[in-house]
Chains A and B, each alone.
Chain A
Amino acid sequence: MSVVEKSQPNFASDQEVRWCPGCGDFAILSQMKKIMPTLGVKPENVAFVSGIGCSSRFPYYLETYGMHGIHGRAPAIATGLKRMRPDLQVWVVTGDGDALSIGCTHLLHALRRNVDIKILLFNNRIYGLTKGQFSPTTPPGLVTSSTPGGTAHEPLHPLSIALASNATFVARSVDTNARHLGDVLRRAAAHRGAAFVEIYQNCHIFNDGAFDHAKDAAVREDHTVELVHGQPLVFGKERNKGIRLVGTDLEVVELDNGRSAGDLLVHDEASQTSAIAQMLAGMEHPRMPEVLGVLRDIDLPTHNDLMPDDTVSVAARADKINQLLETGETWTVGG
């Protein structure tokens, strides 16, 4: 097999993978196993932390350190781990229910603190492990096990939430788009600070085809725009369509209709304000094509950078602690 060179460490664990055959999770795991050996980090210096849900079984399948957490809490667990072990590369694997419903608070705060962790949100727009209830990203109208008349409410948009939390790296990819996913995961790994990646992931048992517009080779180029830093937003099978900023809105324009690429919005992932990125995140199928790639990548101090780091050596600590005890009024009683 050509996947892993002999000299590179193998990141596959010996655990039997227990997702449903055909699950998009396999595709993501497969990409992760491919990119990990190329990152120049040893397996023992990597930790995967997850919550609860199908996606959260991920850590068991990689030969690194790992914590399968409790529902929604992976970002909090990872925050404590990274705070005390800045030397580790820490990944969080979570799902739409885990990250945006029961654990939404932790996601927001890990991002706002810019904890140097990589958060992968596998979005399948459904609760899989509990058998098909609607999730916070389920589109309205979808019939699920708990909504026989169709889901009522508008969904949350993971990218918008990440941007609103001032995440310093925000990206989206697709489980089965191996090349694209591999590139995005490598970019996330290289980012210093909190990286947030939404991955469209097909649950073919409870919500099959949720992302066909972005996955199906026949149509995906017409329904998605791959973002490239510094390049105009061009898309379409014929590369003949683009995205233009008009007033305070975005619109699709036909390039062969008298428009040139010069009229189009040029992607700037390093923009300090997330306003345009929010507009890109708000592009939704079928009204608009959906964006794939890195929406935002900026450099800000990480959580660890911002916290005090003046600890003296263990040997020198005894005197410091004794001094603390002696602070304030003390008195001696003679023998």
Chain B
Amino acid sequence: MTFVVVESCIKCKHTDCVAVCPVDCFYEGENMLVIHPDECIDCGVCEPECPVDAIRADTEPGLEKWLELNAELAGVWPVITEQKDPPSDAHLWKDTENKFELLSRNPGDG
């Protein structure tokens, strides 16, 4: 089992999760974070921290696509170990649905 970051993170990228993760398993893209499934220890501490409810256990149904995406992008994006400010327009995207096409595959700063 692992936790995965899903669509709500896109363009929000709050990074509260990064502050609490004991194993530094978050990886940063330009406008989203992902979890490295082999490094996640399933401790669950990040899940309630996310202001936009973007972190889910992979035991929830229908997350196969996101699990694959997390695994893929964690392999190419840099690790992020410290919390940073969210994008200034994050609040505007909070309740937006269907953000998948807005995902940037570019790496973040880490």
Contact = CB atoms under 8 A, between A and B. Distances in A.
A190 interface: no
A1 B2 contact: yes
Interface string B47-68: 1100000000010000000010
Contacts of B41: 26-27, 29-30, 176
Given A1-B37, A22-B45, A176-B23, 7 more contacts: A1-B58, A2-B71, A21-B44, A21-B45, A22-B22, A27-B22, A176-B41
Interface in B19-60: 20, 22-24, 37-48, 58
Q: Is the interface of B mostly helix, strand, loop or mixed?
A: loop
A137 interface: no
Interface residues of A, number: 22
Given A1-B2, A21-B43, A22-B43, A217 B22 contact: no
A12 B23 CA distance: 20
A219 interface: no
Contacts of A24: 22
Q: Is the interface of A mostly helix, strand, loop or mixed?
A: loop
A146 to B, nearest CB: 26
A23 B23 CA distance: 10
A12 B41 CA distance: 13
Interface in A199-257: 202, 204, 217-218
Nearest to B58: A1
A23 B43 contact: yes
Given A21-B44, A21-B45, A27-B41, A204 B22 contact: yes
Given A24-B22, A217-B81, A17 B42 contact: yes
A19 B45 CA distance: 10
B43 A178 contact: no
A21 B81 contact: no
Contact of B22 (A3, A17, A176): A176
Given A1-B37, A23-B43, A217 B24 contact: yes
A26 B43 contact: yes
B67 A27 contact: no
